[in-house]
Amino acid sequence: MARLKVGIIFGGCSEEHPVSVKSAREVAKNLDTGKYEPFWVGITERGAWKLCDGPDGNWENGSRPAVLSPDRSARGLLVMGQGRCETVSLDVVLPVLHGWLGEDGAVQGLLELSGIPYAGCDIQSSALCMDKSLTYMVARSAGIATPDFWVATADEDIDPGRLAYPVFVKPARSGSSFGVSKVSEEEELPDAVKTARQYDSKVLIEDAVAGSEVGCAILGNGTDLIAGEVDRVALSHGFFRIHQESAPESGSENATFIVPADIPAQARSLVQETAKAVYRALGCRGLSRVDTFLKEDGTVVLNEVNTLPGLTSYSRYPRMMKAAGLPLADVIDRILSLALTGKPGAR
């Protein structure tokens, strides 16, 4: 039986480029090459697309320029070299991209034009989840608790006196914890807004929620969903800054992850059911990680949704799924199967 040709896109122009490359390396270790024939497409930090042998440390050397064709009659990669253009057909695409231009619906739009089935969320759900203010509005309409929040657009001033501190100031449309500040006093707000605007002109200011940071990995489409084990982020000080550690493989300087979370069984079930409700309300499919707060009174409050969560050796999503009995190899196989079954992008 012929192997399925899977295009695996990694890298990208966002600040999460290095994380994406690390995620791709874990995919390379866990992809069933007896079933799938991989075609590795790395996007440089400047936005150049390169067909390469894999996401190793020298993937840009010896690679060939390649683009994903939006022409459905081509349905694959256009690879350039020596004055010629070669077409490589693909059966399915696995985006392993994080943040801007990878997780916000941009690549998903190109894949919709191409007509090639692809893993993960579609344009609409990717865009909704990337913009935290839109995520909160949709979640609230579905009866899911969120922090109180305010939005500041480009060059808009926020009156520090109108807020109750502490608050978190975030880029509305950025990944991980880049540009995020905790503000405890009025005087700190202008600098925090300036920091956030380095990553996005739209800034989100939200009330700090007193509670444990807990997350849940979700896998599936529609109502047929699998929830991974809930994890808890145990902080020694400060707040959790994912993917900004100097040596993340050796652990975070202020956080450890407890999987399964050391919370009551009833709270665990509520977090999982809330994560599924969020996933459905936002139209997610394939996979996502839903981050929440668990308050002392048992209330679950949404924090954010990651539609293409990290798959590195130290990432939360694969840890939660492994604790639920699904190693990364099985997760990859399932999300590719879901892409082919649901065929997003092949209407």
The catalytic site residues sit at 19, 22, 98, 243, 249, 289, 310, 314
Distance set, CA 271 to CA 261, 265, 275 (Å): 11, 10, 6
Distance set, CA 39 to CA 54, 63, 293, 331 (Å): 8, 12, 39, 19
Structure tokens at 277: 């409700």
- Edge to edge, the sheet with strand 4-11 lists 84-89, 76-81, 64-68, 49-52, 36-43, 4-11, 92-96
Q: What does the alpha-carbon distance between residue 25 and residue 22 come to, in Å, rounded to a whole number?
A: 5
Q: Can you tell me whether residue 317 is helix, strand or coil? A: helix
Q: Can you tell me whether residue 207 is helix, strand or coil? A: strand
Residue 316: which residues within 8 A CB-CB, separation 6 or more? Answer: 215, 217, 231, 242, 257, 289, 309, 310
Structure tokens at 127: 């865009």
Q: What does the alpha-carbon distance between residue 292 and residue 294 come to, in Å, rounded to a whole number?
A: 7
| Nearest alpha carbon to residue 114 among 27, 17, 263, 9 | 9
| Nearest alpha carbon to residue 239 among 179, 181, 165, 305 | 181
Bridge partners of residue 216, in order along the sequence? 290
Positive or negative torsion for Cα 312, 313, 318, 319: negative
